[in-house]
Chain A
């Protein structure tokens, strides 16, 4: 019942704040990695290089699907913004359903920008179905396809280290976030500006995906404070010997 209540509260807050954010857009703190991302997108369009976007291998049938959906929301916006480029972004995934959704999202982005003829189905790729085969399949994209920035957002494990290393060797920008703790620690050591924890889910809001993404961040903040309060009160009651 508590979980249902939490869900309903989140839904009500989300709807309310989305309407509010449509009227007054939010201003967020600066996250260096997203600043770099926005710069990289502009640079890629200007100098005719490519973006490589890795959405990881988060299956939509597991709890890991959340990060994949967040990555798709960001991809949609990036596809729109890079639709004028000669070289469209390449998306690599390690899950078949995610690969199909990435193709669909790319096409939607181009359609929204009025450039559907730019879309090529080969720009949304499944590179492997196991963690290391996925990484091995994505490496040639980083090395051989004139990529100027690697945006890795999704569910990956330690194999993310291979992608980060390849990006470093090619001297390209790396913007990386994952919902997996192992991958987060790998990115912390490898990326110029690492994204930690829930910052992954802020991608949409920081690339201008709209009021709903801004409202999502506000709701996350509110819920986080509620959880912090609950933890403090629970710890206090426990210390006082209350039966909880």
Chain B
């Protein structure tokens, strides 16, 4: 069974990859079909994931772990929202209201907390690690913040434009370097899966 799953996964991977490189109609059609199937499976995976979420929270409630009350709240809210979604449909204005009035404000609040957290982390950076790169990191961050700051009574100063151009040149170069490294890492990770060396689908 393990050999079969590995062979199936490798074959699917090879067909999808070939579909990108060789513009043969049959290969392209096969690639699109395989990706469609994968998307359907991913849709089912969301349902399984939600079941997992409920099961973990129920275990928390059952074993009276810390935060069990929040778990109960989550499960009740999930069941109500899911039920209403099935009855009213996802395009119903009340369903939109659920998102706009609850989820968006909660996430916006978390974003606000994050802003404070990041400022705090930047302040503590020099306490944690005092080296040239940390100082440079902080200095560039502060200079960038000043440069993008809106001027209350005037258009952007020429100095701001100069800072953004010079610092942007270095940061773009650095970002491209990092992204090339990440692309190479992704390529090799993909090859390991394609050759069946890494089998995250239970075949190992």
Interface of A with B (CB < 8 Å)? Answer: 3-4, 7, 10-11, 14-15, 18, 59-61, 63, 65-67, 69-70, 72-73, 76, 96-97, 99-101, 103-105, 107-108, 112, 121-122, 124-127, 129-130, 132-133, 135-137, 140, 144, 158-159, 161-162, 164-165, 168, 179, 181, 184-186, 188-190, 192, 196-198, 200-201, 204, 210, 212-213, 216, 219-220, 223-224, 227
Contacts and interface: CB of A to CB of B under 8 A. Distances in A.
Contacts, number: 191
Contacts of B21: 3-4, 7
A100 B51 CA distance: 11
Given A124-B52, A161-B117, 20 more contacts: A10-B191, A66-B185, A66-B189, A69-B189, A96-B48, A101-B200, A104-B200, A121-B52, A122-B59, A132-B107, A132-B110, A144-B67, A159-B110, A181-B178, A196-B178, A197-B178, A201-B184, A201-B185, A220-B181, A223-B184
A233 to B, nearest CB: 16
Interface string B159-197: 000000000000000010111111011111111110101
A232 B64 CA distance: 62
Contacts of B128: 192
Contacts of A124: 52
B107 A130 contact: yes
Nearest to A204: B198
Contact of A126 (B49, B179, B184): B49
Interface residues of B, number: 62
Interface of B is mostly: helix
Contacts of A69: 189-190, 192-193, 198, 200
- Where chain A touches its partner, the secondary structure class is helix
B56 interface: yes
B170 to A, nearest CB: 14
A184 B178 contact: yes
